[in-house]
Amino acid sequence: MSQTPQGSCCPAPESVPAGRPPAVGTGGRYTISEVAERTGLSAHTLRWYERIGLMPHIDRSHTGQRRFTDRDLTWLDLVGKLRMTGMSVADMVRYAELVRAGEHTYPERRRLLAATREDVLRRIDELRDTLAVLDFKIAHYTGYEDTPAVSEEAATP
């Protein structure tokens, strides 16, 4: 898998000259604004994510600016997906901590993700229910010209 912060275990494999025009190669050393653009998150949010421990340690240029790697981007991708499941930021931080803690946390990570998986399945089901209701109502509203006055009665989808 690829969406995993490595904690402070290992420096970025490449050390591109950290000057002004930031490198945008495939190895990746992206500035905060580049990452903001790619992920749709604001720079504020990225800094905040780092501060609360939702990001692994992020490299810095010699002037102290953040340089995100492709690994960071992949992690942010996972974070985005987890976020979408309704997982709280606090729980994601917990997961990030487990990842940083090392491989002995595999069982707990598995439990955490399995629980999330159940949430996702439940959510999908609920959304499908909602879809049925929406379809029913939309159909009703679409053919409204020939419906009587007190129309929205009976027949719950």
Report in angstroms how near the CB of residue 60 gets to DNA at its nearest. Answer: 7
Distance CA 35, CA 41 (A): 8
Q: Is 140 in the site for a copy of itself (CB under 8 A)?
A: yes
Residue 44 binding: pick among DNA, a copy of itself, none (C-beta 5-8 Å cut-off by kind):
DNA
Q: Is 44 in the site for DNA (CB under 7 A)?
A: yes
Q: Is 14 in the site for a copy of itself (CB under 8 A)?
A: no
Report in angstroms how near the CB of residue 148 gets to a copy of itself at its nearest. Answer: 10
Distance CA 23, CA 20 (A): 9
CA 148, chain centre distance (Å):
47
Distance CA 109, CA 97 (A): 10
Q: Is 42 in the site for DNA (CB under 7 A)?
A: yes
Report in angstroms how near the CB of residue 48 gets to a copy of itself at its nearest. Answer: 22
70 Cβ partners below 8 Å, 6+ apart?
26, 27, 28
